[in-house]
């Protein structure tokens, strides 16, 4: 602290190299793998956990309040973090309503940094009611986790975030991130759930995060026999131990084996006569030094059979060793993220081989494994070079359809490098579409047809459809002279395709994503593509079945990490976006159930009129009591009648005054007088003034023109409604009309209502801003021309990409003097102003009532990933992608459509769902591998009971190693066996709490001069007696000594028999021990409690353990006690 010329000042240590978390992520985000991001998140969470243990709460935590420092010597790869900007911090858990902060307050004093930081703050911070400071921090921690792991802000605006929260029950990471871990998604969703009481404590967050990290960690593996006959557990000469038999091909058998601590694939020739073939392959592999080609460890001979010991060519996990072919069969085409990466890796390997004069001769998905880098990124590994030495004259060596069918037309017919690149191109096409290309009818020999490849362009991702089409037309050309001349050229062309996919689809200024504006105008059914997301993220969301903000909000976060093949950067972006959407929907203005008048008097001065729900506004629009004609006219104009003009469609619910006069039966002049009186009354109300200002801001963000439907949805999203579903839009429309009517009558009105041929438009005037110089009528006419053009574009086949459609629409002359609209806004306005066009969740313009078969084929990508989908889930996913298309039929008609669309899902009557094909064993000549056992020593099949036991085992190991507090309940009949098992297998010492407490009580009694026999008799006295009260005094004096004895221990303790502590009401001791473990000042404790399993939480002699978090206790199942998991 010091005195400065401008006043008192606090001086903080600020390392010169430190930078804010948001800047750090912008600069280094792409280089951070998931492990580093999780480690950074854990540092933030643990810092908050420590602060909370000191009863200190930040209340305004955002990425702008977190500094990232240089790594230290102990962890040179991991930067550190510091939390600052504690100006809003408090030492009490709750904050009263008279200290409410607004977004402007937070930003003005620098509590959240830039205004973008407001989306990280809990929605209740800006609403009426008592705050829970701890849960404010938990919410911010969840949003920061979203940002860290997805690379994206939770939302562009508070309104968008609240919409996400409302729709998703918290931020949903899977809405912006494919392949997210289910538990991690659930963790973030729980942390950002709108209901404050449902959020976990920070300590729970940390513990659950540990479990997620453990789940994401790479799994560990579990007289001589002849190698051809070897199986799991067998030993071979040369020191090899077999873990699993992978499969057998035409020339060799493959074994997963280990020697000298190194695990790999042992490829053994089936017969000695095939030894030379393996030796030739070994010679090729010895020459190869590329990260995407399988590594040769060595060449050996086993029982007279040549054998190659190689690195595994696929990821080792519960699903076994994976090849690209297996991946494509199980999950269909790759995500855009994986398509780019795998394609680049394949072409990189091909380029290296080509430059070093090495050919593969059999490139195909079956010969490409999916492995992992040291940073746990999926990567390709090319293997099986057994055909490498095949003579060029042999043009039949290889595998159709990857084998170039046009080699017969070469002069002379010889295999060449064009054929090698052809095989790579077919593989790339299969990665992009899920199936190989065809020629002609798909059954005839392509060499005999005068035709080019038939490309299913609608299966290509819309973001790269045109570029990929051009690439494959060149790479698969019938005439090899029209193909790429070398692999380097082919790789450069592939890279160019993806150069723009990380550019957002919504731009204001060059490079600036206008996510805030998109969210401000968004509703639950707004397509996620309208948020300015990158094509990579949109592709990932499609695979998650997420097309609208509501689906983004509702998607369980857990699923993000269960979608294999979504890059970590993309996962982080999606998780952050999901959090932002959930925040948007949970904000005071967006949360439908949040009505300021709920439980608060309408005249309560604490209720900001700018936060009034549309329900409250509507009740003030028509005065009560009122002149009969006044009420009837106003309700008709506002569209509040149950029947009437609204029956003719949503765009005519604001009837003209003449229509109202005729409907009510009074002269138009009478209607005008009533409207003028209402305007005068409305204009004096602060709630209508605030709504008029809201509409001005919305119109500004939407480029100066909005259709009525857009206005109504934006108002409903901004203000919310607790009315029944059928009334919400009517209320929002009435509130909006009153604001528009009031504004338009003012001198210098900022906007006016324009009635077009098919739509009503809210149009800005020059008073709203100098960039709206064109006449309002010109702006409305422009919107109508966009709508007419959208009707035409919707008929394109195949559908135009969003970029192409935006280009077509942008070619229409815009009003002179107006600022050009961004491409995304042009698309949305055009469709909203059309009669027959609709907008998909990927921002494609398509015809309304599009055929179900076409919708399914176009949206097939959204069905990839899950192992099983019910008919309803399939229908919902396609409807989310193309909401205005013809609905999908139920089974069995749905089966035929799936088959036609090339979706590999089959009806399973037993499960009542469509399931993906199951993997089959194999490694060499088959496309899949059998599942590998990841736990236990024998590699046996796991049951649910043993899997549960292993889960408890991992938690025990983590608690013992991390010196944590963990309460364990066990059936009373297994208590002694559980005690013995824990003491035998874990580094803990036995502590009898009952004996220790009695010892300390006896010491206290002796100090007081009390006879021990008297103390013991007091235990049997009534709770209201003097003897019992005296006994309690002895206990209370003994507890500090007991606490010191436990905290002074050097080694972890197994705490037994806590019954007396429960009897004497001293279970708070365990909270002290738990907090000491959190601070790292205790050795760690396992508390063993006999329990019948009927309680949802640990109970000691019917007294609940008060301070144990859900993540800090576990039940010991019988399978664990009897050690069945380790014997499995």
Of 274-278, 418-422, 799-803, 860-864, which range is least confident? 860-864
Which residues are CB-contacts of 331 (< 8 A; sequence separation ≥ 6)? Answer: 564, 565, 864, 865, 916
Residue 310's Cβ-count burial label (10 Å; 0-12, 13-18, 19+) is: buried
Q: Which residue has the tokens 């059954």?
A: 443
> CA-to-CA distance for 153 and 130, rounded, in angstroms?
27
Mean pLDDT of 398-411: 92
β-bridge partners, 263: 258
- 859 near 462, Cβ under 8 Å? no
Of 82-91, 785-794, 892-901, which range is least confident? 82-91
Pairing of strands 845-847, 868-869: unpaired
Identify which of 62-66, 573-577, 624-628 has the greatest average pLDDT.
62-66
Copy the structure tokens of residue 122: 């809990």
- Condensed to tens digits (0 to 9), the pLDDT of residues 1000-1022 reads 999 999 998 889 989 998 988 88
- Condensed to tens digits (0 to 9), the pLDDT of residues 1029-1077 reads 999 999 999 999 999 999 999 889 999 999 999 999 999 899 899 888 8
- Condensed to tens digits (0 to 9), the pLDDT of residues 119-134 reads 999 988 876 456 788 8
3-state secondary structure 569-622: HHHHHHHHHHHHHHHHHHCCCCCCCCCCCCCCCCCCCCCCHHHCCHHHHHHHHC
Q: What are the residue ranges of helices labelled H in 498-594?
A: 515-520, 535-543, 549-554, 568-586
- 774 near 818, Cβ under 8 Å? yes
The pLDDT, as a whole number, for residue 516 is: 65
- 614 near 715, Cβ under 8 Å? yes
Q: Would the pLDDT of 141 be above 90?
A: yes
> CA-to-CA distance for 418 and 439, rounded, in angstroms?
18
- Condensed to tens digits (0 to 9), the pLDDT of residues 1093-1128 reads 555 567 887 777 865 555 678 888 888 888 776 665
Q: What are the residue ranges of helices labelled H in 986-1080?
A: 993-1008, 1012-1018, 1026-1047, 1059-1063, 1068-1079
The pLDDT, as a whole number, for residue 7 is: 65
**Confidence grade of residue 86 (pLDDT, cut at 50, 70, 90):** confident
> CA-to-CA distance for 721 and 731, rounded, in angstroms?
8
> CA-to-CA distance for 250 and 380, rounded, in angstroms?
24
- Condensed to tens digits (0 to 9), the pLDDT of residues 298-325 reads 999 998 899 999 988 765 433 335 789 8
The pLDDT, as a whole number, for residue 80 is: 77
Residue 153's Cβ-count burial label (10 Å; 0-12, 13-18, 19+) is: buried
Cα–Cα distances in angstroms (integers) from residue 586 to residues 166, 489, 857, in the given order: 5, 50, 35
Mean pLDDT of 985-997: 91
> CA-to-CA distance for 1029 and 435, rounded, in angstroms?
80
Q: Would the pLDDT of 45 be above 90?
A: no
Strands (E), 161-276: 235-236, 240-248, 252-259, 262-269
Contacts 24+ apart (CB under 8 A), 879-882: 880/545, 880/546, 880/547, 880/548, 880/551, 880/841, 881/542, 881/547, 881/840, 881/841, 881/842, 881/855, 882/838, 882/840, 882/841, 882/846, 882/850, 882/855, 882/858
The pLDDT, as a whole number, for residue 441 is: 80
Residue 1006's Cβ-count burial label (10 Å; 0-12, 13-18, 19+) is: exposed
Residue 117's closest CA among 503, 509, 516, 514?
Answer: 516
- Condensed to tens digits (0 to 9), the pLDDT of residues 149-188 reads 888 899 888 888 888 888 888 998 887 776 667 788 889 9
> CA-to-CA distance for 763 and 1114, rounded, in angstroms?
61
- 378 near 370, Cβ under 8 Å? yes
Mean pLDDT of 437-455: 88
- Condensed to tens digits (0 to 9), the pLDDT of residues 743-756 reads 999 999 999 999 98
The pLDDT, as a whole number, for residue 1004 is: 93
Cα–Cα distances in angstroms (integers) from residue 164 to residues 156, 547, 548, in the given order: 11, 13, 10
Q: What percent of the chain has pLDDT over 70?
A: 80
- Condensed to tens digits (0 to 9), the pLDDT of residues 644-683 reads 444 444 454 688 878 888 877 788 888 888 888 888 889 9
Q: Would the pLDDT of 696 be above 80?
A: yes
> CA-to-CA distance for 113 and 29, rounded, in angstroms?
20
Q: Would the pLDDT of 695 be above 90?
A: yes
| DSSP run (H or E) holding 83 | strand 80-83
> CA-to-CA distance for 585 and 548, rounded, in angstroms?
13
Q: Which residue has the tokens 């004895």?
A: 1045
Arithmetic mean of pLDDT over the chain: 80
- C-alpha count within 13 angstroms, C-beta hemisphere, residue 423: 26
The pLDDT, as a whole number, for residue 219 is: 38
Residue 790's closest CA among 884, 856, 703?
Answer: 884
Instruction: Classify residue 457 by its DSSP letter.
Output: G
As a 3-state breakdown, the chain gives helix, strand, coil percent values, each rounded to 5, of 50, 15, 40
> CA-to-CA distance for 536 and 541, rounded, in angstroms?
9
Q: Would the pLDDT of 15 be above 60?
A: yes
Q: Would the pLDDT of 932 be above 70?
A: no
Instruction: Classify residue 813 by its DSSP letter.
Output: P
- Condensed to tens digits (0 to 9), the pLDDT of residues 880-898 reads 788 899 999 998 889 888 8
> CA-to-CA distance for 945 and 1117, rounded, in angstroms?
8
- 504 near 513, Cβ under 8 Å? yes
- C-alpha count within 13 angstroms, C-beta hemisphere, residue 730: 19
The pLDDT, as a whole number, for residue 339 is: 93
> CA-to-CA distance for 471 and 477, rounded, in angstroms?
10
> CA-to-CA distance for 959 and 1109, rounded, in angstroms?
14
Copy the structure tokens of residue 671: 């209607």
Q: What are the residue ranges of helices labelled H in 125-218?
A: 133-150, 158-168, 182-191, 202-216
> CA-to-CA distance for 246 and 463, rounded, in angstroms?
39
Measured CA angle at 732 (ends 729, 735), to 5 deg = 150
β-bridge partners, 585: 162
**Confidence grade of residue 100 (pLDDT, cut at 50, 70, 90):** very low
> CA-to-CA distance for 267 and 258, rounded, in angstroms?
13
Query: Which phi and psi angles does 143 have, rounded to 5°?
Result: -70, -35
Q: Would the pLDDT of 951 be above 90?
A: no
The pLDDT, as a whole number, for residue 1122 is: 84
Identify which of 142-151, 626-635, 939-948 has the greatest average pLDDT.
142-151
3-class secondary structure, 401: coil
Q: Which residue has the higher pLDDT, 851 or 231?
A: 851
Q: How many CB atoms neighbour CB 93 within 10 A?
A: 15
| DSSP character string of 944-964 | HHHHHHHHHHHHHHHHHHHT-
β-bridge partners, 1085: 965, 1053
Residue 35's closest CA among 244, 214, 286, 236?
Answer: 214
Rg (CA), the chain: 34
């Amino acid at each position: 602290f010091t005195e400065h010329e401008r006043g008192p000042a606090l001086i903080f240590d600020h390392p010169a190299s430190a930078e804010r978390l948001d800047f750090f992520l912008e600069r280094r985000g792409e280089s951070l793998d998931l492990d580093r991001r999780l480690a950074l998140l854990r540092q933030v969470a643990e810092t908050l956990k420590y602060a909370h243990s000191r009863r200190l709460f930040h209340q305004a935590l955002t990425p702008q309040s977190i500094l990232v420092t240089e790594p230290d010597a102990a962890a040179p790869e991991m930067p550190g973090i510091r939390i600052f900007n504690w100006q809003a911090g408090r030492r009490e858990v709750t904050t009263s309503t008279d200290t409410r902060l607004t977004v402007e307050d937070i930003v003005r004093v620098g509590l959240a940094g830039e205004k973008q930081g407001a989306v990280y703050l809990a929605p209740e911070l800006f609403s009426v009611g008592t705050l829970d400071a701890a849960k404010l921090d938990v919410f911010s921690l969840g949003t920061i986790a979203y940002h860290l792991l997805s690379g994206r802000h939770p939302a562009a605006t508070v309104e968008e975030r609240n919409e996400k929260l409302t729709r998703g029950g918290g931020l949903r990471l899977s809405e912006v991130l494919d392949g997210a871990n289910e538990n991690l998604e659930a963790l973030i969703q729980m942390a950002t759930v709108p209901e404050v009481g449902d959020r976990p404590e920070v300590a729970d967050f940390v513990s659950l995060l540990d479990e997620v990290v453990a789940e994401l960690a790479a799994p560990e593996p579990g007289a001589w026999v002849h190698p051809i006959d070897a199986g799991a557990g067998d030993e071979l000469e040369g020191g090899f131990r077999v873990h699993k038999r992978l499969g057998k091909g035409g020339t060799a058998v493959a074994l997963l084996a280990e020697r000298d601590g190194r695990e790999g694939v042992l490829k053994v020739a089936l017969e000695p006569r095939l030894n030379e073939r393996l030796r030739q392959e070994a010679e090729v592999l010895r020459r190869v030094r590329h990260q995407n080609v399988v590594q040769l460890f060595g060449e050996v001979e086993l029982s007279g059979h040549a054998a190659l010991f190689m690195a595994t060519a696929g990821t080792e996990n519960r699903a076994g060793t994976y090849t690209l072919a297996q991946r494509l069969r199980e999950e269909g085409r790759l995500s855009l993220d994986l398509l780019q990466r795998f394609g680049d890796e394949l072409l990189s390997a091909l380029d290296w081989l080509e430059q070093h004069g090495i050919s593969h001769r059999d490139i195909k998905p079956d010969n490409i494994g999916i492995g992992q880098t040291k940073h746990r990124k999926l990567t390709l590994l090319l293997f099986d070079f057994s055909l490498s030495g095949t003579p060029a004259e042999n043009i039949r060596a290889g595998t159709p359809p990857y084998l170039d069918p046009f080699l017969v037309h070469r002069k002379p017919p010889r295999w060449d490098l064009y054929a090698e690149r052809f095989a790579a191109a077919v593989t790339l096409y299969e990665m992009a579409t899920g199936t190989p290309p065809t020629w002609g009818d798909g059954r005839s020999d392509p060499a005999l047809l005068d035709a080019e490849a038939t490309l299913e362009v609608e299966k290509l991702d819309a973001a790269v459809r045109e570029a990929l089409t051009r690439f494959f037309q060149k790479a698969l050309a019938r005439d090899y002279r029209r193909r790429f001349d070398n692999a380097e050229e082919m790789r450069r062309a592939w890279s160019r395709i993806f150069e723009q996919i990380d550019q957002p689809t919504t731009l204001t200024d060059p490079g600036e994503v206008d996510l805030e504006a998109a969210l401000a105008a968004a509703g639950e059914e707004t397509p996620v593509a309208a948020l300015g997301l990158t094509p990579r993220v949109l592709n990932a969301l499609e695979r998650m079945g997420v097309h609208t903000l509501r689906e983004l909000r509702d998607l369980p976060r857990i699923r993000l990490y269960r979608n294999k093949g979504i890059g970590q950067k993309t996962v982080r972006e999606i998780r952050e976006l999901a959090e932002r959407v959930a925040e948007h929907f949970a904000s005071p203005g967006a949360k439908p159930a949040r009505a300021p008048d709920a439980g608060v008097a309408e005249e309560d001065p604490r209720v900001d009129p700018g936060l009034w729900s549309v329900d409250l506004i509507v009740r003030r629009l028509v005065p009560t009591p009122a002149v009969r004609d006044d009420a009837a006219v106003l309700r008709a104009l506002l569209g509040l009648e149950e029947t009437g003009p609204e029956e003719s469609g949503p765009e005519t619910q604001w009837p003209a005054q003449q229509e109202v006069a005729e409907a009510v039966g009074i002269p138009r002049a009478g209607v005008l007088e009533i409207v003028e009186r209402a305007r005068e009354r409305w204009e004096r109300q602060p709630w209508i003034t605030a709504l008029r200002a809201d509409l001005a801001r919305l119109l500004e963000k939407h480029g100066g023109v909005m259709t009525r439907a857009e206005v109504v949805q934006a108002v409903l999203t901004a203000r919310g409604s607790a009315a029944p579903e059928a009334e919400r839009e009517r209320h929002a429309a009435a509130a909006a009309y009153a604001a528009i009517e009031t504004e338009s009558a003012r001198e210098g009105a900022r906007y006016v209502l324009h009635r077009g041929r098919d739509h009503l438009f809210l149009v800005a005037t020059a008073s709203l801003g100098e960039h709206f110089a064109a006449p309002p009528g010109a702006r409305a006419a422009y919107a109508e021309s966009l709508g007419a053009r959208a009707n035409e574009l919707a008929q394109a086949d195949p559908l135009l990409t969003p970029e192409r459609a935006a280009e077509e629409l942008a070619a229409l002359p815009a009003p002179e003097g107006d600022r050009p609209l961004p491409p995304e806004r042009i698309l949305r306005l055009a469709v909203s102003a059309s009669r027959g066009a609709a907008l998909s969740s990927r921002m494609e313009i398509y015809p309304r009532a599009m055929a179900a078969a076409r919708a399914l084929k176009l949206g097939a990508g959204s069905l990839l990933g899950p192992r099983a989908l019910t008919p309803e889930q399939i229908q919902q996913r396609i409807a989310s992608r193309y909401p205005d298309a013809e609905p999908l039929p139920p089974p069995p008609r749905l089966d035929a459509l799936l088959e036609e669309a090339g979706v590999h899902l089959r009806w399973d009557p037993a499960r009542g769902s469509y399931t993906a094909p199951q993997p089959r064993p194999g490694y060499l000549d088959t496309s899949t591998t059998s599942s590998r056992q990841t736990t236990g020593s024998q590699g046996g099949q796991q049951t649910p009971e043993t899997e549960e036991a292993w889960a408890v085992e991992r938690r025990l190991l983590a608690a013992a190693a991390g010196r944590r507090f963990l309460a364990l309940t066990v059936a009373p009949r297994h208590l002694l066996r559980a005690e013995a098992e824990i003491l035998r297998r874990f580094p803990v010492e036995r502590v009898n709490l009952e004996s220790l407490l009695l010892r300390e009580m006896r010491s206290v009694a002796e100090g007081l001069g009390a006879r021990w026999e008297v103390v013991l008799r007091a235990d049997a006295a009534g709770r209201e007696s003097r003897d019992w009260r005296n006994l309690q005094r002895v206990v209370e004096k003994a507890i500090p000594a007991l606490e010191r004895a436990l905290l002074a221990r050097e080694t972890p303790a197994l705490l037994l028999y806590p019954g007396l502590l429960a009897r004497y009401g001293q279970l708070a001791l365990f909270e002290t021990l738990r907090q000491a473990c959190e601070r790292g000042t205790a050795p760690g404790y396992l508390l063993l409690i006999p329990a019948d399993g009927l309680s949802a939480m640990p109970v000691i002699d019917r007294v609940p353990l008060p301070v144990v978090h859900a993540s800090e206790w576990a039940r010991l199942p019988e399978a664990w006690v009897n050690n069945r998991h380790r014997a499995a």
